[in-house]
Structure 1
């Protein structure tokens, strides 16, 4: 079903233990979302045998998330890009800056009024792009765009895999209501039936 909206853009800071496994901080509002473009790159391999394709493997390699937002505040810019806020509250970007990866969550409204919710587990952002224009006969809004690379997370889930995205659709009969209600309370952690049986 088609989506007709986008809102509730959040991010959660990541801390890593000695093994590199992620722990997510409490999600906080990133900005008001205008658009989100998500593209995925796959690693592909084909094994040929008996003059034809015998096996084909396609695995997630990485992705790109491009966010159009209304504004990026100082603390968000610091968290996402590694910029420094000086003693006067001014955001100072340096060539040596490099933000730490974060988890990014948002939701997209579907044409039936329900929402599809997302968490991207590990996104490393670059410097936001800004388009500026002089005021002419009409009003033109200039808003920042920030682009990040989506990576799989280091921490394995209950199936010994490295997830890169979680998504759920509101109103799905297989989904408990509290999953949707608590979506922005913490970054969603996959749960499998075999884990509950242990």
Structure 2
């Protein structure tokens, strides 16, 4: 009997966690406790892979791939001022004002989310190291009907220095992943490197 086919049908629970320290050749990365973003609308991830082919004897004989950066775009219902400060390196003052400075530097973060599948299961993902860029802003006046104007933010993710890992995933249909899934959004999973 063939396994039941599970197809992605939805997106839920986008979280981020700042990379606090580590991620050197000898020091494991340390992340803060993950924080949720407002309800998820979209998550698009595009790995940039460089590919080259070696030719010999008048034809191709070997091809090799190398992962470059990973482009990420997420859409959420809204980004609070606190979330913008966290993700973009801006400052909120004592009066609750968000200040954007030309010298602001976005911190490195991990980004986690889960996709709902057609069979009721979930596929969980953490992208392990990246930075977000200032989002474009668009505003449109109401014209007799309500049109939601939700933000999209883009980032560039890379492999980690410590272990070359760039993503970790779990499938709720795999019983071996059950323990990891119960803490998926409370901590970024530890590196497999000893």
TM-score for the superposition, normalised by structure 1: 0.88
User: Aligned to 1:149, which of 156, 161, 172?
Assistant: 156
Deviation per residue, 1:74-123 (Å, 9 max, x gap): 22111111111122111111222221110000000001111000000012
What SS does the aligned partner of 1:166 have?
strand
Q: Contact conserved, 1:98 with 1:126, CA < 8 A, in 2?
A: no
What is the rounded CA distance, in whole Å, between the counterparts of 1:61 and 1:127 in structure 2? Answer: 22
User: Aligned to 1:165, which of 160, 167, 177?
Assistant: 167
Q: Contact conserved, 2:23 with 2:160, CA < 8 A, in 1?
A: no
What is the rounded CA distance, in whole Å, between the counterparts of 2:156 and 2:183 in structure 1? Answer: 26
2:50 aligned with 1:49, yes or no?
no
TM-score for the superposition, normalised by structure 2: 0.89
What SS does the aligned partner of 2:84 have?
helix
Please report the RMSD computed on the Cα atoms of aligned residues, expressed in angstroms: 1.7
Match of 2:14 in 1: 9
CA gap 1:130/1:170 in 2 versus in 1, 3 angstroms: same
CA gap 1:17/1:164 in 2 versus in 1, 3 angstroms: closer
| Runs of 5+ unmatched residues, structure 2 | 1-5
What is the rounded CA distance, in whole Å, between the counterparts of 1:13 and 1:29 in structure 2? Answer: 12
Q: Contact conserved, 1:130 with 1:142, CA < 8 A, in 2?
A: no
What SS does the aligned partner of 1:189 have?
coil
What is the rounded CA distance, in whole Å, between the counterparts of 2:23 and 2:166 in structure 1? Answer: 20
The within-5 A match list for 1:62-81 is 62-81=69-88
Match of 1:177 in 2: 178
| Runs of 5+ unmatched residues, structure 1 | 157-161
What is the rounded CA distance, in whole Å, between the counterparts of 2:169 and 2:22 in structure 1? Answer: 26
